[in-house]
Amino acid sequence: MVSPDEKLVLVVDDESRMVRFVRMNLELEGYQVAEASNGMEALEKVRDELPDLVVLDVMMPEMDGFETLEHLREISTVPVIMLTVKGDEEDRIRGLELGADDYVTKPFSPRELASRIRAVLRRAEMPSPVAKTTIRIDDRLEIDFRQREVIVGGERIR
């Protein structure tokens, strides 16, 4: 289970009132919160503070949330929830295809945002299925991909 008090959420929005509102509600839920007011600052904070999740506004001056997300995906796989007034289908699809994990439109319920954050963090923490590392071809031949070895008649060949 995700323990909020151990999780750092980076909130990126150029509207200070929105940042304060989101911060207050996330802190009430037990999250640690970092803030950025633009895309460049967000990229720096992702590199320096390693947040567990980013809440990213789309409508920002200079570098919008979509461009920020593109640059973010070059350096990190941190989960991202887009938070925006732009709720039309094209914008939602664009955000998701650029690598966002979820998309919430303003106005929104603070409880819903917190629930979505918990859900995204839960998915991010799930272990990925482990692929088989060894394949047996027949009684005499085996390939171990992890060790990069072939085993013939019980003898390892590198």
Q: Which tokens go with 67?
A: 């461009």
Whether the Cβ atoms of residue 123 and residue 97 lie closer than 8 Å to each other: no
What does the alpha-carbon distance between residue 75 and residue 110 come to, in Å, rounded to a whole number? Answer: 29
Residue 82 is predicted with a pLDDT of 96
pLDDT the model gives residue 99 = 95
Give Cβ neighbours of residue 98 (< 8 Å, ≥ 6 apart).
Answer: 66, 69, 70, 73
CA angle, residues 4, 91, 64, in degrees to nearest 5: 70
Q: Mind listing the pLDDT tens digit of every residue in the chain (158 residues)? A: 456 768 999 999 999 999 999 999 999 999 999 999 999 999 999 999 999 999 999 999 889 999 999 999 999 999 999 998 877 899 999 999 999 999 999 889 999 999 999 999 999 987 655 556 677 888 888 887 777 788 888 888 87
Say how far apart CA 11 and CA 68 lie, in whole Å. 13
Encoded tokens for 130: 């482990």
Please give the pLDDT value at position 149: 81
Ranges in the chain annotated CATH 3.40.50.2300: 4-125
pLDDT tens per residue, range 46-63: 999 999 999 999 999 889
The one-letter amino acid code at 37 reads: S
Specify the CATH number of the domain 4-125.
3.40.50.2300
